[in-house]
Structure 1
Amino acid sequence: MRRLRLVTVLALVASCAGTGGKAARAPLTAKDIVQRASPAIVRIEAGIDKIGTGFIVDKTGVVATNLHVVAGESAIKVRMYDGSQYPVMQISGVDPDRDLALLKIQPTKALQTLKLGDSDAVSPGDQIVTIGNPLGLDYTVTSGLISSVRQACPPEDLAAGNCPKEFKVLQISAAISPGSSGGPLFNQFGEVVGVTTRIILIGQNLNFAVPGNYLKPLFRQNAALSPDQFAKATRASERPNQSDDNVRIVRRVPVHEITVFDGCKLEEIADLVRQIGEAIENGAPLYNDGKH
């Protein structure tokens, strides 16, 4: 009997040693993730006709989304899973280069939040789930894989110091559409590892998310911009349409010049990544209407 107990103890020790002393986490099904996360996902309405997605990252009422969803707008509303609505009172964090923003509401009830995972740990082949509001179809669920982890800035430009900062993007196969911008990208454990942000209109399943780790420094920003201050700082300017065989300049864009993929014919992935980098480093939405 003692020998049996000893063998059992040794087996338990060996199993712990094989995982660094930590029990292996069980992956969740897409259905599990949706059921757990949906109450913390919101619909964002900005201005007259902008619709996007966001998610609650702090119980005090901090909502993460893409900057381009709300840029140039002072009237921003957050609609919760239960249908209640809150106006955005402050913009507490902004990263224009990576197209991220933190919005602050004043909730009248307890909020569910989403946990940020480690986006540096994701790799091609990982299963992912997205939830968003594409074309206003609230709480649409899609799933897919991490197709690649790409450096948005071409290596030669990064080495030459021509990029504002190191910036990777997650290429994903999960379908997203205008209105999905700002939504959470989940790993198989239900943690947020990205913010869905862009699509390329040619090809299929060429979609992108900003790594979730880029959100974390924004919590220390304490920008505390009022909606009016934020709108003035990010207001769109009118520019005439310009086009060529590869890119089109949107009519209403944020302060920076932004290129949008619209039927481009690129033969090599290196060229495609270079073009993505040029747009993304300015926080450019890769949609054909420049709104979502």
Structure 2
Amino acid sequence: MRRLRVVVVLALTACGSNAPKQAAAPRPLTPKDIVQRSSPAIVRIEAGTEKVGTGFILDKLGLIATNLHVIAGESTIKVRLYDGTQYTVLQVAGLDPERDLAVLRIKPNKELPILKLGDSDAMTAGDQIVTIGNPLGVFDYSVTEGLISQVRPVCGRADIAAQRCKQELTVLQISAAISPGSSGGPLFNQSGEVVGVTTAITAGQNLNFAVPGNYLKALITQRSTLSLAEFAKITQGDGPSARPDDDVRIERRVPRHELTVFDGCKLADIEDIVEQIGRAIENGAPLYNEGKHEACYRIYEGTSVRYEHDAACLGVRAAFGDGLLRASGLKSYKEKAWAMRDTFDGLLRVAHAWSEKHPPGAPPQIAPPGKSKPPKPNNPPKPKT
């Protein structure tokens, strides 16, 4: 009898008669759902007389997140809400220059709608995302959708130990277009949570990134605040510098690629890449030697953007993308030019190695970068006085 009672109890337990029902997984939101829910918490930011960007509300009492470069160097910053109400920013409540993030404080006369921060560490390549911003500062609340293309580590512990950077940094490369004016806007996952802050690296290129939203979680707990006058002073000139920069120390970081970087490319593709890199160096290096660092960088950048978008082999696309990403985080055009030159030299070296492994149909004479006419990699030239 006792055994029968145990069996009955086990059977009831197995059938789950008293077990709580599991909640169904939440339905992914459509882009339309996300727009309808989130737009009231997305703002337009006007800094100075010319800068326009996007931001979003983190706290009902007036904390707003955006990109630092949108507001850098400005002592007058205004925020326009979804309903048209405009506020003057009173303080900068948080600042993270290494990650291009800033948190602003306004004093609203009512409680504000907010956006919820999700877990950006959970995002992986292939995840669907939605962005909302103000492209070119004109088309308010324009929406784009896409995918996480890649989760890219930019600065790790080894880089910090080598003093190449100060803080850990990973970025989310996304397929959704980010135009100037949309920088600082929210990147949403399918649950409508903010997992990133979008940033436009260079106008017109198909290389778009977001800074992971988890970095904001630490930033909004900062106790220090800056007046706008203090903020403008310490961020004056933040971003690429066109001034003479002879004192800038150049650190060469030429990537080492495996031959598989050319997987998917035909011989003609590799020859074209090598030829166009050579032309870029021939045109850019003389400008660099004349002290025209930005002009040199723009030539290198143009070649890199083209192949990051159109190269037949994914490895080459990634190599150019990594170079553009590295250059985007540097302060002077001198450093940016050398970052792109490192990208070129890395590809030229592996192309030379590839040609030695494939003698029958390989490019006849792909010289290693140290033997080319432009400045030698280990001897950065100084502008002529």
Normalised to the residue count of structure 2, the TM-score between the two structures is: 0.62
Partner of 1:239: 242
Query: Any residues of structure 2 matched to 1:80-229 within 5 Å, and which?
Result: 80-136=81-137, 137-153=139-155, 157=159, 160-200=162-202, 204=206, 206-229=207-230
Query: Any residues of structure 2 matched to 1:42-57 within 5 Å, and which?
Result: 42-57=43-58
Aligned partners of 1:89, 1:275: CA distance in 2, in Å? 35
| Bigger Rg over Cα | 2
Aligned partners of 1:268, 1:192: CA distance in 2, in Å? 28
Aligned partners of 1:183, 1:283: CA distance in 2, in Å? 26
Partner of 2:381: none
Which shows bigger deviation, 261-270 or 115-124? Answer: 261-270
Aligned partners of 1:57, 1:225: CA distance in 2, in Å? 18
Structure 1: which 5+ runs fail to align?
A: 17-21, 252-257, 285-292
Aligned to 1:150, the other structure's residue is in SS state: strand
Aligned to 2:98, the other structure's residue is in SS state: coil
Residue 200 of structure 1 contacts residue 261 of structure 1 at CA under 8 Å; is this kept in 2? no
Aligned to 2:109, the other structure's residue is in SS state: coil
Aligned partners of 2:46, 2:332: CA distance in 1, in Å? 19
Query: CA deviation digits over 1:130-189, x for unaligned, max 9?
Result: 000011211000000011100123896456352212100000011110000000000000
Q: 1:14/1:124 Cα in 2 relative to 1: closer, same or farther (>3 Å)?
A: farther
Q: Does 1:277 align with 2:336?
A: no
Root-mean-square deviation (Å):
3.5
Q: How many Å apart are 1:280 and its aligned residue?
A: 2.5
Aligned partners of 1:27, 1:94: CA distance in 2, in Å? 33
Which amino acid letter does the alignment assign opposite residue 24 of structure 1?
Answer: A
Q: How many Å apart are 1:272 and its aligned residue?
A: 3.0
Higher-RCO chain (CA-CA 8 Å, sequence separation at least 6): 1
Q: How many Å apart are 1:207 and its aligned residue?
A: 0.7
Partner of 1:76: 77
Structure 2: which 5+ runs fail to align?
A: 1-7, 246-282, 308-315, 334-385
Partner of 1:254: none
Aligned partners of 1:153, 1:278: CA distance in 2, in Å? 13
Aligned partners of 1:249, 1:32: CA distance in 2, in Å? 46
Aligned partners of 1:264, 1:175: CA distance in 2, in Å? 20
Q: How many Å apart are 1:10 and its aligned residue?
A: 2.3
Higher strand share: 1
Aligned identity (percent) is 56
Which amino acid letter does the alignment assign opposite residue 155 of structure 2?
Answer: C
Q: 1:145/1:13 Cα in 2 relative to 1: closer, same or farther (>3 Å)?
A: farther
Query: CA deviation digits over 1:23-64, x for unaligned, max 9?
Result: 522211110000000000000000011000000000110000
Partner of 1:290: none
| Structure 1 counterpart of 2:302, from 263, 276, 290 | 263
Which shows bigger deviation, 194-203 or 180-189? Answer: 194-203
Residue 193 of structure 1 contacts residue 213 of structure 1 at CA under 8 Å; is this kept in 2? yes
Residue 89 of structure 1 contacts residue 226 of structure 1 at CA under 8 Å; is this kept in 2? yes
Higher helix share: 2
Residue 135 of structure 2 contacts residue 179 of structure 2 at CA under 8 Å; is this kept in 1? yes
